[in-house]
Each structure stands twice: as structure tokens, then as C-alpha cells.
Amino acid sequence: MAIEGSMLGALSYIVQPMFDEVFIAGDRGAIFWVAGALAGIFIIRACSDFGHRILMFGVGIGVTTQMQRNMVHHLLTLDSSFFQSNPPGTLIERVRGDTTVANQIWMQVLGTAWREVITVLALLGVAISVDWKWTVVAIAGVPLLLGPILVMQRFVRRKTFAAREAAARLSTRLDEIFHGVNTIKLNNSEAHEDQRFGVAVKSYLGQEMKARIGQAGIPSTMDIVAAIGFAGVVIYGGNEIIDGEKTVGQFMSFFTAMALLFEPLRRLANVSASWQAARASLERIQSIFNEVPTITSPDESAVLTTDAAQADISFEDVNVAYGGEPALHGTSFVARAGETTALVGASGAGKSTLFNVLTRLVDADAGRITVGGVPTTELSLADLRRLFSVVTQDAPMFDETLRDNIVLGETGVQDEAIAAALEAANLTEFVSASTEGLDTPAGPRGSQLSGGQRQRVAIARALLRDAPILLLDEATSALDAESEARVQAALDRLSQDRTTLVIAHRLSTIRRADKIVVMDKGKVVDEGRHEELLARGGVYARLYELQFSDS
């Protein structure tokens, strides 16, 4: 970097003997050493530039990818509520887009800027050695740039921040389109979505263009200063050459140095503009790192004093609110160890919130939840969540193989254990029929699998996890009759000898539950067995009548 920058100074210095000794004095002997010096300067500069580019690229990519890893690591520590208020597209833009923009700091400020500073110092040294007064005349207009540059820097930072926000909205819109493409097609809303995306593109383009105009304005002002400086030197220095006080070689050496000087100055001004753009991205990145989780493990974690499989789960006067709206209000009930407890109620009754507060995806505002008499808030998050196997309606899948989706990060899992989980989940036939077996790709979000297959993969995952407490969140509500029968059979095997909590809309699936807890508007309004609840009438009886009135 230092060698590359100093070579331009050497180039401008060699111009003086080239003119005075070779072209004007006609010294043929000087031709060879001047030519050799010129060739050496360019060869050294080329080698230095090559090494510099490779180094900057390698380190720049390394810094960017490490920053992305650090961001994802931090994001994974944040509460679920953070992800509910920040769309995936916005976060993806922070992790991918903002870190890439911020990488310009390394590539330009740490790399380009230092090289250009060395170049400027080398060229200034040559110019001053020729005539310090000419140098003062040439750069006299530079201080006039400070005011306009400061104004443009603030403008660039503000507009770049707005452009990154617009880019995040653009990513969010794309995420919505790609994941909702079937809904868009079935509703003939392609034109509408295209128009919405066009609005987002226009917003991004407008903000990005304003930022780019500001960035372009900073180095462009250097040309104005260069014009004034060169004109002054020609007027002042030209008279000295005519009077014989300076040689043509001295003037050409000075002129070359100054001509080369203004280009790195322009690039330095451009670095200043890029720094403002990178600052906007860094502020957005820092805002992620400023987020801290509110749901954390206690400093001193408790341990269960009883076998988790023999531990009752108790909700004691639990209150939870989202944005001031109560989701649970004074909720109390007990799920006995080894039994199946079903949660029923209309949409919005608070059933899913019970699961969230039990697993501490959400913390209760009041009341407490205990497992085996130990409050969940006194257990470490890892120990608490190790107690649960969860099967949900959407059965989240990852763009990996069936094996990876079943094992889900667990190491040292034996093939025999996987085979047993497949058999219990009614997946053996499907896996055997697949040419790639367990190495069959699931596709993004499990797109290569049917709904029933995704559910059974999730069940196999839960079986392999072998946790003492099973949480089923409407695990069969979106399936056809045949798929439901297969999944329900697998669920029955999964729930054996486990404490099971079930959220179900289809009341036929929980008739055999040991206890049914009926919820309405965040409260437990009744509990008992299926026959008892029907006999008492009330909310459960009304729900049952609504579902089975036709039959």
C-alpha cells in the first residue's frame, strides 16, 4: 500500500530529468536510465497493486461474513416478540445488505484511503521540492471545500439511511410475494402485487438516487478547485519559466505531480461520501446489537427434584397481555403427569399463548407456571425447553434432507434410532419409496413434502427428541382424512407414557383426553372429561354442537 502510493511520487519526480536532460539537453545516455526508471516504477506499482487488491478483498470478505455470523448469533438470542415486530425481509436486508455496504469502510477507508493519503504526501513532497510557492497557489482553494463537503456528508448519510430502509421494505415485499404466490394466483392479484412492488421499487430508487447524487457531488467539487489551482500555477509559473528562473522540466515535474495529486484527492473525497453511506448501514447494524433479550436464564438455575416424566404442570393465576390487550387472565389449571390434557376454545381464547408462556417464548406478566413444583422462570432456558417435544400445525421444515430435518442438529444419532422414529411416525414406507431415502431434500420450508408428510417428519423429530412432555398445537387440523388418520396414529404412539398437552379444533381428536380444559377470552371456564363437559352444557357443549350438528 505504501509502495503503491509512493510510486506516483517517483513517477512525477522522474519527469524533470526526462524533459531537461533527454528532451531539451539531448543527453542520449540519460535515455536508458530514465526509461529503466519509468519501467521499474510501473512494474513495482503493478505488483503492489495486485497484492493490495487480493489482501483487501480477502480481508473484506472475511470481515463481512464474520459480521453476518455475529449478527445471526445475536439475533438468535433475542425474544420471539422481536421477530414478530420486525419482518423477515427487514432483518435479511440488515444481515445481507447493510453488512455489504458497511464493508466499504474496510475496502475504501482502511484500504483505499491510506493508499491515497500516502500518494498525496508523496506527490506533495515532489511539488514542494520543485517550488513551495507554486504548491501553495495550486492548493489554495482546498479550504473552500470544507463547508460544502460537510453539508453534503450529512445529506448523504441521511439519504443513505432512508435508502437502506426502503431496501428493507423491498425485501419484505419480495418475501411476501414469493411465499404467497399461490394465494396471489388464485385471487388473480398478480397486477395488484406487481403494482405494490413497483411502488416499493420507486421508493428505493428515489432514495438511492438522492444518496448517489450527494456522493457524486463531493468528489466533483475537487475539479473546481483543480481548475482554479492549475490556472494560478500556469499564470504564476509560466512567467518564471519565460524569465528563465525555472526550467521546463521543473514545471512538467510539478504539473505532473499536481495533476496526479488531484485524482487521489477526488478519491479521498469519494471515500468520505462512502463513509457516510457506510455509517448509515452501521447505525442500522448497531441497532440490532443494541437489542437485548428480556427472556433469559436465571443467574442461578434450579433443577427438577423429581423425574420430569412424573412432574405435574401447574398454571397458577397466569396473566399475559400483548400490547395492552389481555391474552390470558387469571388462568389456572393442572396438567397431571403422564396424562393427556386438551385445550379447547374459540380462536383467540388464549390456547397458543399457554404454550408460549409454558416454554417461555413469552413471559407471564403475573402468576407462575411450575413443572414438578419448580417455577419455569427458575430453570435455565436450555433445561426448560429440553423438557418439551413440540408438533405444530405448520410443522416447520428447513431446506435440508429428511435426515437433517429429523435429527435437527443433534449429533451422534444412530441410524437405528432414526429408523425406529420413522416407523413410529408412519414414515418408513415413504422414505423407502424415495430414491434418495433419508437424503431426500425437503425443499425450502418443506415444499417438496405434502402436508401429511411434513407432519409425520415433525412427529419423527419429536420421537427422536424423546422429551418427557409433548405439546401438540392443532397438529392435524389442516390434513385430509387419510393423512389425519396416519398422523393421529403416530401421535397416539408418541403420547404414550408422556405428559401431553393438546390444542385442538377438531373435538373428535380429544374425546379420549384425560382432561379437557375449556378456555374463553383468556380464562379457564370449565374443565373435565368429554362426557362430563357435554352433560354440563356450557362453552364446550356449544362448540361440540357447532361441529357435529350436521351429523
Percent of the chain with pLDDT over 70: 92
CATH no. for 308-548: 3.40.50.300
pLDDT of residue 360: 92
Class at the top of the CATH hierarchy for domain 2-290:
mainly alpha
pLDDT of residue 526: 92
pLDDT of residue 169: 83
In this structure, the chain runs to a length of: 551
Quick check: 71 and 288 in contact, CB under 8 A?
yes
Please check the confidence at residue 482 and state whether its pLDDT lies above 80: no
**Residue 112 DSSP code:** I
pLDDT one-digit tens code per residue, 234-269:
777 777 878 788 888 877 887 777 777 777 877 777
Mean pLDDT on 59-85: 87
The answer to whether the predicted template modeling score (pTM) of the entire model surpasses 0.75 is no
Please check the confidence at residue 278 and state whether its pLDDT lies above 70: yes
pLDDT one-digit tens code per residue, 190-211:
888 888 888 888 888 888 888 8
Lowest mean pLDDT among 65-74, 353-362, 409-418: 409-418
- CA dist 223 and 228 (Å) reads 9
Task: Give the CB-side neighbour count of residue 478, counting CA atoms within 13 A.
Answer: 13
pLDDT of residue 313: 93
pLDDT one-digit tens code per residue, 494-535:
777 789 899 887 787 788 889 999 998 889 999 999 888 888
Please check the confidence at residue 426 and state whether its pLDDT lies above 60: yes
- CA dist 3 and 25 (Å) reads 31
pLDDT of residue 108: 67
pLDDT of residue 475: 66
Percent of the chain with pLDDT over 90: 12
Query: Quick one: 301 exposed, middle or buried, by C-beta within 10 A (0-12, 13-18, 19+)?
Result: middle
- CA dist 248 and 253 (Å) reads 8
Residues 6+ apart with CB under 8 A from 10: 37, 41, 122
pLDDT of residue 167: 83
Quick check: 446 and 461 in contact, CB under 8 A?
no
Cα angle: 247, vertex 249, 254; to 5 degrees: 100
Mean model confidence pLDDT for the chain: 82
Q: What is the CA radius of gyration of the chain?
A: 36
Please check the confidence at residue 174 and state whether its pLDDT lies above 60: yes
pLDDT one-digit tens code per residue, 9-41:
677 777 777 777 777 777 777 778 878 887 887
pLDDT of residue 480: 62
pLDDT one-digit tens code per residue, 92-116:
888 888 888 777 766 766 667 777 7
Please check the confidence at residue 322 and state whether its pLDDT lies above 80: yes
Please check the confidence at residue 397 and state whether its pLDDT lies above 70: yes
Considering only residues 472 and 475, tell me which one the structure prediction assigns the higher pLDDT: 472
Query: Which pLDDT band holds residue 3 (cuts at 50, 70, 90)?
Result: low
pLDDT of residue 371: 92
Record the cell numbers describing residue 143, joined without a space. Answer: 479550504
Where in the chain are the domains?
2-290, 308-548
Nearest to 335 by CA among 305, 349, 315: 315
